[in-house]
Amino acid sequence: MISPNLIITTDPSCADLALEELRRVCPGAAAVARPEPGVLVCAADSGFGDIAAKWQAGPPVFTRHICPVDTTVAVSGAADVDLAALEKACREMCAGRLAGNLSFSVQTRTFGAVALKPFDVNTRLATAITELSGAFLDVRNPSQVVSVVLAGSKGWLGLSTAEQNLSNWAGGARRFAREDGQLSRSEFKLLEALEVFKLSLPKSGTALDLGAAPGGWTRVLRRAGLQVTAVDPAELDQSLAADPGVRHERTTAERYLQGSHPTRFDCIVNDMRQDARDSARTMVRYAPLLAPEGVALMTCKLPHAGRLPTLEQALAILAAGYRGAGARHLFHNRSEVTVCLRPGTGGTDTGAQRSPS
């Protein structure tokens, strides 16, 4: 059996889809261990660097995070012994490979009955790496990542760039602090989407929020400086109702289109609770309202059964009005995939079309 050489992380409900995505770029790949639902230790014929390069060119939809397995360490359960073993393995792995002029982070995840705490491992290894290379620690925005996964009697370590890992965050778990005035958990979905798709909202301009109530996404857009038209027959939160930068159209997305809209929007967002295909048809009708340099974001709500065919159908519909700029099942998504769109047609370069049927 081939030794494991990478670990992929996904939502537990998407584990089989993520494994099939891996097999699409490396047909011989197999999961040799599953320390936690959604965490797969895999053996693949291709090297981690080759797999990462393919996914950098065309990111997967359901795989949130990957990291290499460069070395395996036996875990005894004695904290002092295990910390010493991990430090020794880390020093050997990083020697001559970790760049001293770039930032780094140590990301440790533990599963099951493991005596070590992630904080203790991170601290011990970060100190060793700094002594070894002179590199500086940057937990939030590292260039290089030492990944450590501990489960039962095994520990897996790997060194990679944050870009190769598909996410700067361990396991792709991007967490945001809850703010005063936050209206809903859905705000995290929009904030994460802006990061994942590397989008910068204009400092000023106009945005259209379809299915806006109670107004979480509208609040995020207003904080960015945009004037927002919020379309929803339901009421917005009182804090937004009094905001002169928010115009609330108390109607459905379909009826709103029947009016006159001479101004195009710099940003259109859609988090409506609607079948992904119906929502995609609505978005195509709104395509003429998106400014030439604008961006659109929508969530495709997917059924538990037939998720991939439904997503592919929705993306095919969207291709009639947009160029796809990405599709990802984000950490803050549930039974949905977030899609990034640009004006014009030309297919959806999202990765989903390269996923297995």
How much is the pLDDT for 351? 44
Catalytic residue among 54, 88, 189, 301: 301
- Write out pLDDT tens, residues 16-54: 999 999 999 999 999 999 999 999 999 999 999 999 999
How much is the pLDDT for 252? 95
How much is the pLDDT for 352? 43
Does residue 203 carry a catalytic annotation?
A: no
Q: Which domains does the chain have, with CATH numbers?
A: 6-172 (3.30.2130.30), 186-354 (3.40.50.150)
CB count within 10 Å of CB 102 equals: 14
- CB of 4 within 8 A of CB of 29? no
How much is the pLDDT for 348? 44
CB count within 10 Å of CB 228 equals: 27
Rounded Cα distance between 81 and 263, Å, is 66
How much is the pLDDT for 357? 27
How much is the pLDDT for 1? 53
How much is the pLDDT for 346? 58
For residue 244, what are the contacts with CB-CB under 8 A and spacing of at least 6? Answer: none
How much is the pLDDT for 113? 85
How much is the pLDDT for 57? 92
Q: State pTM to two decimals.
A: 0.90
Residues of the chain with pLDDT under 50: 348-357
